[in-house]
Structure 1
Amino acid sequence: MKKNSYMYHAGTSFFFYFAFACYNAMLALYLSDIHFNAQQISLITSSAPLFSIFAQPYLGTLADRFRSPRKVSLVALFITVVMNVIFMFSHQLIILLITSATILALFNAVTPLTDRIGVSSPYDFGKIRLWGSVGYAISAQLCGFVYDVIAPISIFVIFLFGTITVLICILRVNDPEEVQTETKVEYSSKEAYKSLFKNKQYIIFLLISFFFWGACTANFTYISVFIKSVGGTASMVGTYQLFATLFEVPAILATDFIIKKFSYKHIMLFACAMSVVNFVWYATLPNPNLIVAVFVFKGLSTILFTMITVRLIMEIVEDKYVSTAFGLQATVGRGIGAAVVQLIGGKMIDSFSTMTPFYLFLSLLIVTALVLSLTFKEKRA
């Protein structure tokens, strides 16, 4: 097959997210089944977003320095293969923490690099990225099935298959062409952060991101444990992830229409409202089949929030500070917010006999994000 063909770009997206799902969707359930309590699980899972805070900018810097996102991605993903083998055969908390956090942090850091490769390809990036959602959905369902039917450790064999395949695909695509600009805007980090922290609307959005992503990430981490606690199976966990992820596809395709039709503020309010309904429903401890049935709330609320983030930041922040602003928002929301809420959530799950208080806590966080969204003011009508 010809190098840099559409099949290799689509394969990169498909198998990257196919491998990612093995850890992202099933890690908490696996740790629970090898007899770690919720606090220990939260310690392990909350380490990944903290590792990501450092991994993402570092890999981005390396990619710029060597002018090859492709080579940096190959090295990083090879490291995840090694870490996965160590993780498979260990039951010690510190080793599981370091290896799983390294794997997830490197996958988070490689994501913008593979996106950059896809965007620079001669093909429509949307048609490439959609294969990522399909790969994630299929892997989540497959992992749930083999977890129940064969053995929990089987999911890490699936991870090896997915990662090795994506390495082969990345070897067969080209690096993006370097874009040379005649003028370069120079500014210090101190100047950038000073400007951002004087921007009231940006600070409000940081707080919204902290509460929204803190709650949603904690739910995503513990949903497998929750489904199992009310009588569900690993296959049901996979089915939940399958439908929640597949529902993102039409939402992604409808992005431009939704943004033209509604304001960013209204989209944020709607995403928060859907999450509140979702978490309050979970707090009633419904039948596991009914948990799976409301997959639409998870998929739609997070994809709506995600799709407006970059555009909203570009609107409220000066052009030269956009990259810094986006990085800080990701750090506060998916990094610090995710870590803090997961640690608190783990303590709550261990302290109570049911997960009702945990989901009421998440509901309260989203209500806080919703109230903050009401105070947000955007420039466009």
Structure 2
Amino acid sequence: MKQNYYKFALLYIFVYAAMGSVFPLIGQYLLGLGFKGTQIGMVTASATAIGIIAAPVWGNIYYKTNNNKHVVLFLCFAAVLVPVFLLQISDFYLFLMGYILLFFFQVPICPLADTMTLEASHDFGSVRKWGAVGYAGGVFIAGQLASYFGLQWIFILFSMTSFAAGIMVWIIMREKFDLKEERENYEEKENRNTDSMLELLGNRKYCAILLSAFFVLGTNIANNTFFGFLYTSGGGSLGGIGLVFLLMAGSEAPCMAWVHRFSAKFTLERMILFAMLLSACRFFWYGSGPSSSLLMSTFFLQGIVNGILLIEFIRYAAKVVEIAFLGIAMSFIQAISCNGSTILCQMIGGYFMDHFGINAVYLGFAAMNLIGVFVYLFFRLHIKANDKV
């Protein structure tokens, strides 16, 4: 089991290193191509927009496929090839279409990796922390390569790490974690004839979790795009972006590793509420325009917020749905609460940055977080839930 744990850890490292190599620096890359703030917002939002379609589609394919890990393997290797073509494109509309294609394959990998981990009965927080390590490493390496050799290296690194992730999926495929028999027994027991997606969305508590997460997760994902502009506006350098993201994303790993201990004491429901409030306060402060040195010195705020939210929202959702629907449930979180929210944040953020400046972007993010807190309290999600509903 321990050896198998390290296989999953390496998978998370490579999957999230790919994301870390692109997301924090894509804004600077597009700016170098001559794109305006609104265009940058459209491109970055397109990745999350296609994820709204891609994540449920591939999640459903994963659910219905006997050798379901072949689906993840295909997605990893498909994500290797597209960046090669993106490097040749400088036209806005062509780049937009290529970027959409890239993330049609890449976006579903993360929720399906979560599903594989949950199906293998690993401690999710303990394994998922390696994604933060990979993201931090990807950001740092990409930042250094971009400083010395050019921003085109963010896509080269993306392809390399996606290939490595595919290799890890292939290795994991040799283990037996298929829950096909359990799914069949579950369906026979319940005598279900309705569509699995519609049935899942009939789970009221799960839908409430999706809604509250919508107002929080997207702002923290969109922060990866806009933080570089906030940091440089406060006097930071391009190379410094890589370093501060290394610290910020790196701080998520220990928080993810320890969060289950705090949740055991305070409950995961209350830990999520705490992290949502902290996220709102963090973005209100960012909206005041702090210096780059202050941003650097408070890197741990991201570790606390994301270390809790990215783990506990997943665990909360898994707590209230049947195991047979884990793949689809995780894909809907990715599609709605992550991608749907992020596209809104990136589009609004791009507009605000063009017309009001980068500080206004973060004031908007803080306001969204407060709405998420209200939704969370309104549906009484902060009260401990023991049973699946």
Instruction: Classify the TM-score, shorter chain.
Output: 0.7 to 0.9
What is the match of residue 255 of structure 2?
Answer: 251
What is the match of residue 375 of structure 2?
Answer: 372
Range with bigger deviation, 240-249 or 94-103: 94-103
1:345 aligned to 2:349?
yes
What is the match of residue 194 of structure 2?
Answer: 188
- Structure 1: runs of 5+ lacking an equivalent: none
Query: Relative to structure 1, is the Cα distance of residues 127 and 285 closer, same or farther in structure 2, using a 3 angstrom cutoff?
Result: closer
Q: Tell me the C-alpha RMSD between the 2 structures.
A: 3.0
Report how far residue 249 of structure 1 moved: 1.8
The partner residue of 1:228 within 214, 232, 235 is: 232
What is the match of residue 301 of structure 2?
Answer: 297
Report how far residue 86 of structure 1 moved: 0.9
Distance of 2:163 and 2:44 partners within structure 1? 24
- Structure 2: runs of 5+ lacking an equivalent: none
Query: Relative to structure 1, is the Cα distance of residues 244 and 105 closer, same or farther in structure 2, using a 3 angstrom cutoff?
Result: farther
The partner residue of 1:359 within 353, 359, 362 is: 362
Query: Relative to structure 1, is the Cα distance of residues 105 and 278 closer, same or farther in structure 2, using a 3 angstrom cutoff?
Result: farther
Report how far residue 46 of structure 1 moved: 0.9
User: Deviations for 1:223-264, whole angstroms, at most 9, x for unmatched residues?
Assistant: 122223333222222122211222122222222222222244
Normalising by structure 2, report the TM-score: 0.84
Do the aligned partners of 2:252 and 2:302 also contact (CA within 8 Å) in 1? no
One-letter code aligned to 1:188: T
- Superposition map of 1:118-197 within 5 A: 129-175=128-174, 176-179=176-179, 180-181=181-182, 182-184=185-187, 185=190, 186-189=192-195, 192=199, 195-196=202-203
Distance of 1:123 and 1:264 partners within structure 2? 18
- Superposition map of 1:11-26 within 5 A: 11-26=10-25
Give 3-state SS (helix, strand or coil) of 1:172's partner: helix
One-letter code aligned to 1:349: M
One-letter code aligned to 1:57: P
Give 3-state SS (helix, strand or coil) of 1:254's partner: helix
What is the match of residue 62 of structure 2?
Answer: 63
Query: Relative to structure 1, is the Cα distance of residues 370 and 219 closer, same or farther in structure 2, using a 3 angstrom cutoff?
Result: same
What is the match of residue 46 of structure 2?
Answer: 47
Do the aligned partners of 2:129 and 2:253 also contact (CA within 8 Å) in 1? yes
1:107 aligned to 2:128?
no
User: Deviations for 1:175-218, whole angstroms, at most 9, x for unmatched residues?
Assistant: 5443313342314248626734xx3x555544322221232232
Distance of 2:165 and 2:19 partners within structure 1? 11
State the identity as a percent: 23
Give 3-state SS (helix, strand or coil) of 1:25's partner: coil
Normalising by structure 1, report the TM-score: 0.86
Report how far residue 350 of structure 1 moved: 0.6
One-letter code aligned to 2:33: I
The number of residues matched between the two structures is: 374
Do the aligned partners of 1:278 and 1:297 also contact (CA within 8 Å) in 2? yes
Give 3-state SS (helix, strand or coil) of 2:54's partner: helix
Distance of 1:203 and 1:72 partners within structure 2? 26
Query: Relative to structure 1, is the Cα distance of residues 10 and 215 closer, same or farther in structure 2, using a 3 angstrom cutoff?
Result: closer
Report how far residue 351 of structure 1 moved: 0.9
